[in-house]
Amino acid sequence: MNKEEFRRICAQYCEGGDFALNPDAAFLEDVLDGVMQKQAETGLRYCPCRLTTGDFEKDIDLLCPCFFRAQEKWKTKGECWCSLFVKK
């Protein structure tokens, strides 16, 4: 999957929700590039700001988009760990 396809998936993921892609365009590009980098390295689109173990069973929660609503940062700041998604 290329970056534009991934961006579309992320935008669709936001539809109907109370969150959106980060409106800071430059920052958004950096995070999307980070996910693409992980994909190039591992074959999977892992979170760009958390470390994987190499064990798929353990790393499955790090596939992007993750279930960020469970994260402390979402509860306190209204952003996913990497700030790819932000509360509206």
Q: Please, which residue, 39 or 47, has the CB nearer to ligand SF4?
A: 47
Three-state SS for 21-81 is ECCCHHHHHHHHHHHHHHHHHHCCCECCCCCCCCCHHHHHHHECCCCHHHCHHHHHHCECC
Q: Is 84 in the site for ligand SF4 (CB under 6 A)?
A: yes
Site size toward ligand SF4, by CB under 6 A = 12
Which of 85, 86, 87, 88 binds ligand SF4 (CB under 6 A)? It is 85
Four-residue CA torsion sign, 60, 63, 68, 73: positive
Report in angstroms how near the CB of residue 48 gets to ligand SF4 at its nearest: 6
* Cross-strand bridge partners of residue 85: 21
Q: Is 86 in the site for ligand SF4 (CB under 6 A)?
A: no
User: Which residues sit at the interface with ligand SF4, rule CB under 6 A?
Assistant: 31, 47, 49, 64-66, 68, 80-82, 84-85
